[in-house]
């Protein structure tokens, strides 16, 4: 299954000396378990932003190795640049990406800060989620006065560092570290002046024009500027919480203000990487707004790119700009069975091993049943002959498409549950009974989930039998029988594992639910087949 993944985005005060930039990159790349995704240097700011990912342990090591390289090569006493800064490694945030909590990222930042302070003897401050003090929670609060004011600041007890000595290291300065949500750097292109772009920024940014006149969008920081390279102005923004204020809402709000000023919007730009979820949110917004019917993920991403105009400044390549795609594990690692060819899966299924077994096979068969139902829908939707059915297909296909995709992980989940049960059997001492009970319940819940997901398909399968393209009759028949067979197979796995469970209440409740789903599958299979047999067209 997928592993824990954290993103680290350290900002170093060097954007001109390629030798130093490359040395820091190498220190990250050479850290086992770390993957460097992006290096973004800026000459005028004299600053480079690195983006890399890793598990909680490796991400801390990677950040430390990079900091040690910066300590050796960067001399802050000689540093100048347009961007605010206070240290060689200026700020080092840890961001949850996959299967990790914000608390785990806070722990990473604290471990990193503690070790950095101890090993390099430099002052380290915590910010954002890692800080508990309101007056020093935001980066701008801690960095006020910048490098030049740090020596005096450290003499104030209120600004004692969280880690490391309260002494000024002229060569290095200080570092701010903490945990935050994924930040999206997002710019909307305006065919106008810097002042007009800034006027829009004042309208939308959370701070607004003043405390008495706040802006419209939460968790948004923004200014207006002019980019000579693009020959146009931009509303340049940081989206601190894209779940609350996503790019598409920002784009629409900026566009509305631009229209009121009789200005043209020429697309937008994402700087660095972006979570897939943000683009899928945009796609869903435009799908609903324009009454579109798109289920395929790649097409949704394409729609978001087009509607937001993300190709306006430079080509937006999803494989290189969407962080989920860049850190996607090899399917053979995360889902070894699902990644096999049909031939190889069948051969493994028939080999001299107890797993994969009937549970994995049941998930495969059920997924194929849902897939054949969806296929019948696609053989109907969008065809002139069946144009009157398009609205029905828009409602019928999505549940089948979703179930098909949701069932695939259970091919491997069932085998993992079996292997975990075998491990629990080997536990010694007083913990053995609890370990076995926990493993058994998981071995029950996995095939039960296969049944539950499959059970969501029947309403669509029955409707498809009534109106779907009759040329796909046999496909839908096979699909319905496969769905019922997958449910039956999962039911047998639930029952056999329930036998050894000692929790009577759990056993009775689970068996009742499983039997109801099994009976519903029998009834609906018969219904689908009868409808198809009696179709006259």
**Which positions are catalytic?**
83, 414
Contacts of 18 (CB under 8 A, 6+ apart): none
Q: Tell me how far apart the alpha carbons of residues 448 and 453 are, in angstroms, rounded to a whole number.
A: 9
Choose among 363, 358, 343, 339: nearest CA to 483. 363
The two structure tokens encoding residue 196: 């007009």
- Beta-carbon count within 10 A of 265 CB: 22
* Sign of the torsion angle spanned by Cα atoms 299, 305, 309, 310: negative
Two tokens, residue 242: 């894209």
Give pairs for 419-424: CB < 8 Å, separation 24+: 419/355
| 486 within 8 A of 363, measured Cβ to Cβ | yes
Whose structure tokens read 């700011």? 45
As given in the structure block, the two tokens for residue 47 are 């600053």
Q: How far apart are the first and last CA of the chain?
A: 47
DSSP 85-111: -SBSEEEEEEEEEES--HHHHHHHHHH
Strand partners, 225: 234
Find how far residue 258's CA is from the centre of its chain: 31
Tokens standing for 401?
């498409």
Query: How many angstroms separate the Cα of 443 from the Cα of each of 367, 448, 449, 503?
Result: 19, 9, 10, 14
Q: What angle do CA 321, 327, 333 make, to 5 degrees?
A: 145
Contact status, residue 203 vs residue 215, Cβ threshold 8 Å: yes
Pairing mode of beta strands 184-191, 232-239: antiparallel
């Amino acid at each position: 299954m997928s592993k824990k993944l954290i993103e680290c985005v350290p900002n170093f005060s060097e954007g001109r000396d390629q030798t130093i930039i490359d040395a820091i990159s190498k220190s990250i790349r050479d850290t086992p378990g770390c993957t460097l995704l992006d290096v973004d240097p800026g000459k005028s700011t004299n600053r480079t932003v690195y983006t890399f990912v890793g598990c909680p342990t490796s991400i801390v090591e990677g950040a430390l190795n990079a900091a040690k390289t910066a300590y050796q090569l960067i001399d802050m006493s000689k540093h100048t640049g347009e961007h605010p800064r206070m240290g060689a490694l200026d700020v080092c945030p840890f961001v949850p990406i996959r299967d990790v909590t914000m608390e785990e990222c806070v722990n990473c930042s604290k471990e990193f800060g503690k070790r950095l302070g101890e090993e390099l003897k430099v002052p380290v401050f915590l910010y954002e989620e890692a800080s508990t003090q309101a007056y020093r929670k935001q980066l701008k609060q801690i960095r006020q006065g910048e490098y030049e004011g740090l020596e005096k600041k450290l003499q104030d007890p209120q600004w004692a560092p969280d880690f490391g000595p309260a002494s000024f290291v002229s060569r290095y300065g200080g570092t701010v570290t903490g945990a935050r949500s994924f930040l999206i750097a997002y710019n909307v292109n305006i065919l106008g002046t810097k002042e007009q772009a800034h006027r829009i920024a004042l309208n939308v940014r959370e701070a607004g024009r003043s405390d008495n006149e706040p802006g419209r969008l939460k968790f948004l920081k923004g200014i207006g500027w002019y980019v000579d390279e693009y020959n146009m102005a931009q509303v340049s923004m940081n989206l601190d919480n894209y779940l609350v204020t996503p790019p598409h809402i920002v784009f629409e709000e900026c566009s509305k203000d631009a229209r009121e000023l009789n200005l043209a919007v020429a697309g937008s730009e994402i700087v660095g990487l972006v979570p897939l979820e943000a683009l899928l949110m945009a796609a869903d917004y435009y799908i609903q707004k324009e009454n579109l019917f798109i289920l395929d993920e790649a097409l949704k991403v394409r729609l978001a790119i087009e509607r937001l105009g993300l190709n306006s400044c430079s080509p937006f390549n999803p494989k290189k700009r969407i962080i989920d795609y860049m850190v996607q594990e090899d399917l053979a690692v995360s889902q070894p069975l699902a990644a096999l060819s049909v031939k190889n899966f069948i051969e493994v299924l028939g080999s001299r091993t107890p797993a994969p077994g009937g549970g994995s096979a049941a998930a495969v068969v059920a997924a194929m049943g849902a897939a054949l139902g969806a296929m019948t829908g696609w053989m109907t939707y969008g065809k002139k002959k069946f144009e009157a059915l398009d609205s029905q297909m828009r409602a019928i296909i999505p549940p089948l498409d979703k179930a098909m995709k949701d069932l695939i992980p259970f091919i491997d989940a069932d085998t993992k549950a079996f292997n975990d049960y075998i491990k629990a059997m080997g536990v010694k001492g007083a913990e053995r009974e609890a370990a076995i009970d926990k493993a058994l319940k998981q071995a029950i819940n996995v095939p039960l989930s296969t049944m539950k997901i499959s059970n969501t398909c029947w309403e669509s399968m029955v409707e498809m039998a009534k109106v779907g393209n009759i040329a796909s009759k046999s496909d839908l028949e096979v699909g319905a029988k496969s769905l019922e067979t997958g449910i039956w197979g999962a039911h047998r796995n639930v029952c056999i594992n329930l036998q050894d469970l000692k929790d009577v209440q759990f056993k009775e409740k689970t068996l009742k639910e499983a039997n109801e789903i099994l009976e519903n599958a029998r009834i609906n299979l018969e219904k689908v087949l009868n409808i198809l047999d009696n179709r006259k067209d």
